Amino acid sequence: MNNTIPTRIYLAEEEMPKFWYNLRSDMKEKPDPILHPGTLQPVVPSDMEPVFCKEAVKQELDDDTRLVPIPERIQDFYRAYRPSALIRAYYLEKALGTPAEIYYKFEGTNTSGSHKLNSAGPQAYFAKEQGLQSLTTETGAGQWGTALAMACGFYGLDLTVYMVKVSSEQKPYRKAVMETYGAKVIPSPSNTTEAGRRILEKDPNTGGSLGCAISEAVETAVKTDKCRYVLGSVLNHVLLHQSIIGLETKAAMDKYGIKPDIIIGCAGGGSNLGGLIAPFMGEKLSGKSNARFIAVEPASCPTFTRGRYVYDFGDTAKTTPLVRMQTLGNGFIPSANHAGGLRYHGMSAILSKLYHDGHLEARAENQTEVFDAAIRFMKTEGILPAPESSHAIKAAIDEALECKKTGEKKVILFGLSGTGYFDLSAYMSYNAKTLSDMVPTNEELERGFVTIPDIPQNK
Amino acid sequence: MNNTIPTRIYLAEEEMPKFWYNLRSDMKEKPDPILHPGTLQPVVPSDMEPVFCKEAVKQELDDDTRLVPIPERIQDFYRAYRPSALIRAYYLEKALGTPAEIYYKFEGTNTSGSHKLNSAGPQAYFAKEQGLQSLTTETGAGQWGTALAMACGFYGLDLTVYMVKVSSEQKPYRKAVMETYGAKVIPSPSNTTEAGRRILEKDPNTGGSLGCAISEAVETAVKTDKCRYVLGSVLNHVLLHQSIIGLETKAAMDKYGIKPDIIIGCAGGGSNLGGLIAPFMGEKLSGKSNARFIAVEPASCPTFTRGRYVYDFGDTAKTTPLVRMQTLGNGFIPSANHAGGLRYHGMSAILSKLYHDGHLEARAENQTEVFDAAIRFMKTEGILPAPESSHAIKAAIDEALECKKTGEKKVILFGLSGTGYFDLSAYMSYNAKTLSDMVPTNEELERGFVTIPDIPQNK
């Protein structure tokens, strides 16, 4: 294909971002403050520092600093696998016969297989700088655990990963990668924690959930002073680190004078979507762009489209601070869905607020249709996408087909957050036509909502 | 790290090679001609065209054309995943404390996970252009089968893959990727062919071998007129396509004025090594460079270091043309070795000739030490390497440590031909310390050599 815009756009090393961008600084309406679960007052750093690294807490509570310098050693870390490619989907466009231009930012070529490494590196670095010896975390589909295992291997930190049991059984190789990088992987719920034992007593056969694995990881972290807990999504500082995705994308697009009309990402906790849209949403909030933003979630875990915008805990044991967010209730256990990374009851406070205020759209998709889109994509673009990322592909294809109807030549950008190398059992089920859509009934959702704490909401 | 040479060098789209480079054209001593197994005369195109695509045969037998234009549509195909990155191993260098500069060309970020796609694309394209409907092939570790499945999916061709049985059992997910791309995968030996049935009769429990899978694939291909057989390594036209690796590498190095002193690649059939070294070896043969070239093979399948340079068949059923090459004998069955892609009895005729004439060195490595090197690499450079590629890593580290002893600031280049995503069972064995080195005894080698046909050799 002979076009002026190359198929793959890579930034040169000197063009790579030196700062993270804090989207909150440009939000006139900020997300509601994080509350201490005991006092119901906004948390102060000392409330969070027993659990999280100091620098992470500072970033978490900083709504104002617009550009946060990326420390030199983290720039080094990023250079080991970044920049990622911004790819023009010429083949997909042609197959769809759409007048739309489709671009995707592909975060899946590093060994962890996803964008998660963008925050794992900084968080491990901050822990090391603080003099810590070890970290704990949870992982669902395994991307975050793998990324953190790599980062801890790189910076020389011990790591314990609580892996949602159903995932650890479905993905033994994910576990193997983490262990090869030196991490200790414990299927959750486990009997190594109070939180785990409590859940196992109630339901010895549970496949686990992210909310439960978080409880176990936090409990373990606070037991010793040289250990902290790190989270791979949802929180503000994670979205800050992930802004590298959007910043690189914007720099690459600016180089070629490309302005996206529609920006799409899959949303589990929001780290990939939040990172991709950050600088573009910043422009929109300051009136410089009319782009549309679309969050795509699985119909089996419809946090945006069927959740509530209220204060809730981040974990099932109700030990975390309270965050005002779109939530299905901390007790919501999603039905087994192979798009494991999107199975969280809550959502980034930043994205929740943007959705609440009408700046961000959301839609829920059934997984069989998501896999249809994935197959269409892999056969044209050549890349085997993660089931999570395929939610974004589904929406991008739908928007491109809408352009075909209307004849509009829109510019569609989506985030391809990871590869499907470790999700082949899901593809095998798809090939065997044994995948099903597991949409929760209203009654099931109600059972989640009753676990939401009864706290006065602002509005 | 603050250096003038970036960590990752990507060519711009307009800098990408438009021609393949045919190393044979610059060899004063050409590889011996391929012989017809019946007449023992040099083959002519009509001998090979019932088995292979016409264009592949033409390229196979062309020792003279120096630059072969890459058809536009294959340039398109390449643009879907190329250029690959040339990476400066700053982190590994630092960890080793070596004065050497280490570079590696990383071919593992496409969905097939290895360099094999570079020849799968062209071969599928040539088949399509010729009006064929289907292709057959064999695959060992699965990289080639995956790559060809992707290419056939892209160009709309049916594909049957004979997969070495032990691999298909060890790597169900490899099989799943191929099937997801629409390929039919048959564990070999199978009862779908004469060749397979014959081997199963002798040894019903055999894990299979590449040589046997080749026999089955060829037998199936010649049964119908609209079907041909394609091979992913060893042959001259495959090395021609793989010259894209070396050409990109050389262009990237020339941009920064880098001259490699030592060039290293793993060698199974030779496609990755042959592709990487092509333009550099061309310079050496014409007196413009003094670089050293090192082929690294597994001690379990020591084709260079303990094989013979004689005419042999490419398959165990003795149906292919005869090629003068380094060989362990077409009946050699290597002991199970996780570096599956390096388990072939023969070797590229081009590389065999270069070795025979003293232009190429070779060394054999034990797999436990290869995995030690792989772990060292993944913890510093972040990339999980394929066991095959890790043979090159091992030699690169050894050469860098030698520089540390002597204080020499050599420039070392190696090929990182693929990722280890699908080899995690091997890493699990390594972690569990159950890997062993399986070096054939002299008696075992002799049993292979007796299968070599008794043909007068030139010298």
ipTM of predicted assembly, 2 dp: 0.89
* Residue A262: band (very low, low, confident or very high) from pLDDT cuts 50, 70, 90: very high
The sign one gets for the Cα dihedral A209, A215, A217, A218 is positive
Residue in this structure with the two tokens 């050699």, named with its chain if needed: B332
Which pLDDT value is given to residue B457? Answer: 67
Residue B379 structure tokens: 């913890």
A113 vs B contacts (CB less than 8 Å) = 421
Average per-residue pLDDT for chain A: 93
Residue B458's pLDDT is what? Answer: 58
Q: How many residues does chain A have?
A: 459
pLDDT for res A210: 81
- Ranges in chain B, pLDDT < 50: 1-2
Question: Backbone phi, then psi, for B389, in 5-degree steps?
Answer: -60, -30
- pLDDT by residue (tens digit) across A319-342? 889 999 999 999 888 776 665 667
User: For residue A75, how many other CB atoms are within 10 A of its CB?
Assistant: 18
At which residue do the structure tokens 């972690």 appear?
B431
Q: Which helix (H) or strand (E) holds B164?
A: strand B158-164
**Spatial distance between the Cα atoms of A51 and A47, rounded to a whole number of angstroms:** 8
Q: Which residues of chain A does B76 touch, with a Cβ-Cβ cutoff of 8 Å?
A: 1
Compute the nearest-CA separation of A110 from chain B (Å): 7
- Beta-carbon count within 10 A of B223 CB: 9
Q: What is the mean pLDDT of residues A304-321?
A: 93
DSSP tally for chain A: helices H, then strands E = 17, 15
What is the maximum span of chain B, computed from C-alpha positions, in angstroms?
63
**Measured between CB atoms, which of A80, A179, A383 is closest to B431?**
A179
A379 with B154: Cβ contact below 8 A: yes
| pLDDT score for A207 | 86
Mean of pLDDT values over A12-41: 96
Q: Are B313 and B322 in contact (CB under 8 A)?
A: yes
A442: phi then psi, degrees, rounded to nearest 5? -60, -35
Q: Can you give the pLDDT at residue B210? A: 81
Q: Across-strand partners of B362?
A: B295
Would you tell me how many other CB atoms lie within 10 Å of the CB of residue A309? 20
For B180, the closest of A153, A179, A427 (CB atoms) is A427
Q: State the best of B10, B154, B416 to mutate against chain A, taking most chain A CBs within 10 Å.
A: B10
Contacts of residue A54, Cβ cutoff 8 Å, sequence gap at least 6: A45, A126, A130
Closest by Cβ to A7, choosing from B80, B378, B379: B80
Q: Which two tokens stand for residue A385?
A: 């996408």
Q: How many other C-beta atoms can be found within 10 angstroms of the C-beta atom of residue A251?
A: 17
Choose from B171, B422, B424, B435 for mutation: most chain A CBs within 10 A.
Answer: B424
B7–chain A nearest CA distance, Å? 6
Check CB contact under 8 Å for B378 and A10: no
Q: How confident is the model at residue A166 (pLDDT cuts 50, 70, 90)?
A: confident
Would you give the DSSP letter of residue A421?
Answer: G
Rounded to a whole number of angstroms, the distance from the CA of B82 to the nearest CA of chain A is 8
Query: pLDDT, tens digit, for every residue of A407-451?
Result: 999 999 999 999 998 888 888 888 888 888 889 999 999 999 999
A384 contacts B154? CB cut-off 8 A: no
What DSSP character marks residue A261?
S
> In 3-state terms, what secondary structure has residue A287?
coil
Distance from CA of A434 to the nearest CA of B (A): 14
Cβ–Cβ below 8 Å for A111 and B382: yes
Testing the interface with B: which of A73, A159, A180, A376 to mutate, by most B Cβ within 10 A?
A: A180
- Alpha-carbon distance of A254 to A248, in angstroms, equals 10
How many angstroms away from the CA of B147 is the closest CA of chain A? 10
Give residue A1's pLDDT: 44
What span, in angstroms and rounded, lies between the C-alpha atoms of A395 and B399?
Answer: 50
Which residues, 6 or more positions from B214, have their beta carbon under 8 angstroms from its beta carbon?
Answer: B138, B162, B231, B314, B315, B316, B320
The pLDDT score that the predictor gives to residue A351 is: 98
What predicted TM-score, i.e. pTM, was given to this entire model? 0.93
Give, for A318, the enclosing helix (H) or strand (E): none
Alpha helix (H) ranges present in A259-329?
271-285
Asked if residue A384 lies in contact with residue A378, where contact means CB atoms within 8 angstroms, the answer is yes
- CA-to-CA distance for B338 and B340, rounded, in angstroms? 5
CB neighbours of B25 closer than 8 A, spacing ≥ 6? Answer: B63, B64, B65, B66
Token pair listed for A215: 């409880």
A1, containing H or E segment: none
Helix (H, G, I), strand (E, B) or coil at B166: helix
Question: φ and ψ at B144, to 5 degrees?
Answer: -65, -45
| pLDDT at residue number A341 | 65
CA distances from A15 to A88, A264, B85 (A): 19, 24, 17
Q: What are the residues of chain A with a beta carbon less than 8 Å away from any beta carbon of chain B?
A: 1, 6-8, 10, 12-13, 76, 79-81, 83, 91, 109-111, 113, 150, 153-154, 172-173, 176-177, 179-182, 375, 378-384, 419, 421-422, 424-425, 427-428, 430-431
Closest CA–CA distance from residue A80 to any residue of chain B (Å): 7
Count Cα neighbours of B337 within 13 Å in the Cβ-side half-sphere.
32
- Residues in B lying within 8 Å of A, measured between beta carbons: 1, 6-8, 10, 12-13, 76, 79-81, 83, 91, 109-111, 113, 150, 153-154, 172-173, 176-177, 179-182, 375, 378-384, 419, 421-422, 424-425, 427-428, 430-431
> Count of CB contacts below 8 A, A vs B?
114
Q: Poorest-confidence range of A131-135, A231-235, B208-212, B278-282?
A: B208-212
Q: From the list A7, A79, A153, which residue is nearest B7 (CB)?
A: A79
Q: Is the dihedral of CA A69, A74, A76, A78 positive or negative?
A: negative
| Stretch A47-67: mean pLDDT | 97
List, in sequence order, every beta strand (DSSP E) within B189-340: 227-229, 262-266, 292-298, 308-313, 322-327
Q: Which residues of chain A neighbour B153 with C-beta distances below 8 Å?
A: 378-379
Q: What is the pLDDT of residues A195-212, one digit of tens each?
A: 999 999 999 998 888 888
